[in-house]
């Protein structure tokens, strides 16, 4: 009795703990009857492949960034749908197409013949300029559409010379510009090498691309050069096309987004040009280049 008298408060604490534990268990069991554990619904994921093939120098990073931005936005809107964009080297495309085919493909001039057998016919032009639709057609059937454009411009330190430097790409043909304006092309190892030769005064006239326009204009702005620009309005093959190898709701939606007016307006941010009727530039040298591109002849992309 003496022990109980001295330790009664300890027994009271134990009793209270037991009662409280029983109450908590009963409360939890009662709630569990009406509680359903949430589980994420199973989603059958589908991955669409997009091959991106670059054939002309300048703006390559911007072009694939443009496609990636569209892909990520569409993925957010469509659970379980993924778009995997893979950059393919142009000289490896032909062999890759012998063993596999993407769902969609973005490509420039020089590889059209390899791509054509894998393309599905399109039934809409998405308001691409009429004169450009023919460049993505074969036997009067539409297989791809241009979605990004650039152009050529003569860039000079002073008076234009008879010998005009341009780059060898293996796919595009800046020498055609030289033929149009009746000057002699002096071909460099690449378009970028021709640009560097121009900057370091190894030549005084350059057949430059839209990217060369961007570079040299920036140098003008910081006083590094004092060059002048004459955009070429007779010819351009600096065009990126988009085609479908698989046709379903998601691939046609992707193509629609590629040519959506709002997305096309964003090409302004990359100093690139649209294939649609809407102009992106109001003044300055980019407006001059845009006007020249809108007037220029574009060859058929399947006539390599």
- Tens of pLDDT, residues 179-226: 888 888 888 878 888 899 888 888 788 999 999 999 999 999 999 999
Does residue 168 have a pLDDT over 50? yes
Helices of type H across the chain: 2-32, 60-77, 93-97, 112-115, 130-133, 175-180, 191-199, 210-221, 249-258, 261-265, 284-295
In a domain, 190, yes or no: yes
Q: What is the pLDDT of residues 226-275, one digit of tens each?
A: 999 999 999 999 999 999 999 999 999 999 999 999 999 999 999 999 99
Residues 56 and 143 in one domain: yes
Residues 178 and 249 in one domain: no
Domain count, the chain: 2
Residues 157 and 266 in one domain: no
In degrees and rounded to multiples of 5, residue 297 shows phi and psi of: -75, 135
In a domain, 37, yes or no: no
Residues 120 and 252 in one domain: yes
Q: Which of 231, 258, 283 is the last residue of a domain?
A: 231
Residues 166 and 214 in one domain: yes
Mean of pLDDT over the chain: 86
pLDDT at 27: 46
The more confident residue out of 57 and 115 is 115
Spell out the residues 6+ positions from residue 19 whose beta carbon is closer than 8 angstroms to its own: none
Residues 137 and 81 in one domain: yes
Residues 244 and 143 in one domain: yes
pLDDT at 266: 96
Residues 167 and 108 in one domain: no
pLDDT at 21: 52
**Residue 251 is part of a domain; what is its CATH number?**
3.40.190.10
Task: Determine contact, residues 50/105, Cβ cutoff 8 Å.
Answer: yes
- Mean pLDDT along residues 53-65: 88
pLDDT at 183: 85
- Mean pLDDT along residues 87-92: 94
Residue 147 DSSP one-character state: E
In a domain, 95, yes or no: yes
- Mean pLDDT along residues 125-137: 94
pLDDT at 116: 98
Residues 282 and 244 in one domain: yes
Residues 104 and 179 in one domain: no
Residues 275 and 145 in one domain: yes
Does residue 32 have a pLDDT over 90? no
Residues 226 and 249 in one domain: no
Nearest 10 degrees: Cα torsion 125, 257, 287, 143:
-30
Give percent of the chain with pLDDT exceeding 90.
66
By residue range, what is the domain housing residue 193?
152-231
């Amino acid at each position: 009795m003496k022990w109980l008298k001295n330790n009664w408060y300890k027994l009271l604490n134990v009793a209270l703990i037991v009662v409280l534990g029983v109450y908590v268990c009963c409360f939890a069991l009662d709630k569990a009857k009406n509680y359903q554990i949430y589980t994420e619904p199973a989603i059958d994921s589908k991955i669409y492949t997009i091959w991106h093939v670059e054939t002309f120098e300048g703006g390559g990073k911007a072009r694939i960034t443009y496609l990636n931005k569209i892909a990520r936005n569409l993925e957010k809107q469509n659970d379980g749908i993924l778009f995997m964009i893979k950059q393919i080297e142009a000289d490896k495309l032909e062999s890759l197409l012998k063993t596999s085919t993407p769902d969609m493909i973005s490509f420039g001039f020089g590889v059209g013949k390899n791509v054509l057998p894998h393309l599905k016919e399109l039934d809409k032009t998405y308001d691409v300029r009429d004169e450009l639709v023919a460049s993505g057609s074969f036997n009067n059937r539409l297989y791809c559409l241009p979605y990004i454009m650039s152009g050529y411009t003569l860039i000079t330190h002073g008076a234009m010379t008879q010998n005009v430097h341009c780059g060898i790409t293996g796919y595009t043909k800046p020498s055609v510009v030289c033929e149009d304006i009746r000057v002699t092309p002096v071909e460099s190892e690449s378009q970028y090498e021709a640009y560097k030769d121009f900057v370091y005064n190894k030549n005084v006239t350059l057949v430059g691309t839209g990217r060369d326009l961007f570079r040299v204009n920036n140098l003008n702005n910081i006083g590094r050069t004092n060059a002048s620009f004459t955009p070429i309005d007779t010819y351009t093959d600096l065009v990126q096309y988009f085609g479908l190898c698989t046709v379903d709701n998601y691939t046609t939606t992707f193509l629609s987004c590629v040519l959506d007016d709002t997305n096309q307006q964003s090409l302004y941010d990359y100093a690139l040009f649209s294939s649609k009727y809407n102009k992106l530039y109001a003044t300055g040298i980019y407006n001059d280049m845009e006007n020249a591109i809108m007037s220029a002849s574009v060859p058929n992309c399947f006539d390599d």
